[in-house]
Structure 1
Amino acid sequence: MRIELGERLRYGPTYWGLDRGFVGVLGGSVIGPRFSGKVIPHSGGDWPTIRPDNSVRFDARYLLQADDGTIVALHNTGIRHADKAVLDRMQRYEHVDPSEYYMGLTPRSKHLKARTNGLVRQFLSARRIATKPTQSLHIGQWSNRVIPKY
């Protein structure tokens, strides 16, 4: 999955002392053996929480459209952690090698048709490609372990 993201906004500290942010989804594509389609442009975004320990908690929601027209609402949560210097470089849209940070995502959807299970029932890793003022997020399978259906 490749997601094109807009410019990041950052605000805070909030009432709880943490910084928050927002980045909108501009579009993207999904290509895989179990699900192919597109990320619907401007269908959502990510509202991260930036913690003082150099970690970021993601809370992203956006829509996918399968090649057959089926709409899937996806909710990704996860974390990214790196040294402060690395996070500062990311904030300036500088290139950062994926080996310099950890980033893991867990996708969820209430649209668990059998053919979409492969997309939303696994742990995913992501890497970020930055170009000012936009960036891309490349999401791929991190583990072959499929999460049990509940």
Structure 2
Amino acid sequence: MQNHLFDLAVEVGPPQTVGRTEAGERRCVPITGGSLRGRLNGREVSGRVLAGGADWQILRPDGMADLDARYMLALDDGAQIEVWSRGLRWGSPEVMARLARGETVPPDAYYMRTAMRFETAAADLQWLVHSLAVGLGERQPDKVLLKVYAVD
């Protein structure tokens, strides 16, 4: 069973590329900010994505993108949450090329999912540390939208 936690809008900067390796094109996408809205512990929460994180990616030769992002959330109540998100984005060659060009593509045209773990010192959010979440993603030209669900 899944429990909706929050929605994230993660703002990103232009990718920095290392170049093509045997595994594929290695690149780093800087995380520049963003916002959070949801419900934790039965109460409405909001906050922001802090600048300074990054998504380290490998664009594989088969077109799939391996995603490995780390970033921080700051809730409006002062709690801070570290996010570690590993996932993938995959679609047809045409769709992946459109995404690579920065075009807006309907999220049902490709598959984007992440497994998410959290770390926080906030006493009332320790259950997050012991939970695994799944993010359903959508790539937009300047941000990634994630609907985040706890997996029971």
- The TM-score with structure 1 as length reference comes to 0.82
**AA in 2 matched with 1:20:** R
State the alpha-carbon separation in 2 of the partners of residues 37 and 101 from structure 1: 28
Alignment match of 2:35 (pick from 7, 29, 32): 29
Residue 144 of structure 1: how far off its partner (Å): 6.0
How far apart, CA to CA, are the structure 1 residues paired with 2:47 and 2:104?
A: 28
Return the structure number with greater relative CO, CA threshold 8 A, min gap 6: 2
Q: Which of residues 11, 31, 53 is equivalent to 2:18?
A: 11
Following superposition, the deviation at residue 12 of structure 1 comes to 2.1
Contact persistence 2:23–2:61 (CA under 8 A) = no
Structure 1 residue 101: deviation in Å? 0.4
| 2:138 counterpart residue number | 127
Q: Please give the alpha-carbon distance, in whole angstroms, between the structure 2 residues aligned to 1:19 and 1:9.
A: 11
- Give unpaired runs (5+ residues) of structure 1: none
- Structure 1 match to 2:5: none
2:86 to 71, 77, 85: 77
Instruction: Tell me how far 1:87 sits from its aligned partner.
Output: 1.0
Q: Distance in 2 between matches of 1:19 and 1:116?
A: 37
| Structure 2: unaligned runs, 5 residues or longer | 1-7
Residue 120 of structure 2 is matched in structure 1 by 111
CA contact (8 A) 2:23 2:58 kept: no
Deviations 1:49-72 (A, max 9, x none): 111121111010111111121221
Percent same amino acid among aligned pairs? 29
Considering only aligned residues, what root-mean-square deviation do their CA atoms show, in Å?
A: 2.1
Q: Distance in 2 between matches of 1:17 and 1:58?
A: 13
Question: After superposition, what is the alpha-carbon deviation per residue over 1:47-97, rounded to whole angstroms, capped at 9, x for unaligned?
Answer: 101111211110101111111212211111101111111111111111211
Compared with structure 1, are the counterparts of its residues 17 and 33 closer, same or farther at alpha carbon in structure 2 (3 Å cutoff)?
closer
Q: Is residue 40 of structure 1 aligned with residue 40 of structure 2?
A: no
- Letter aligned with residue 55 of structure 2: D
C-alpha change, 1:124 and 1:117, in structure 2 (3 Å) is farther
Q: Report the residue type matching 2:29 in the other structure.
A: V
Q: Cα gap change, 1:144/1:39 in structure 2, threshold over 3 Å: closer, same or farther?
A: closer
Number of residue equivalences: 139
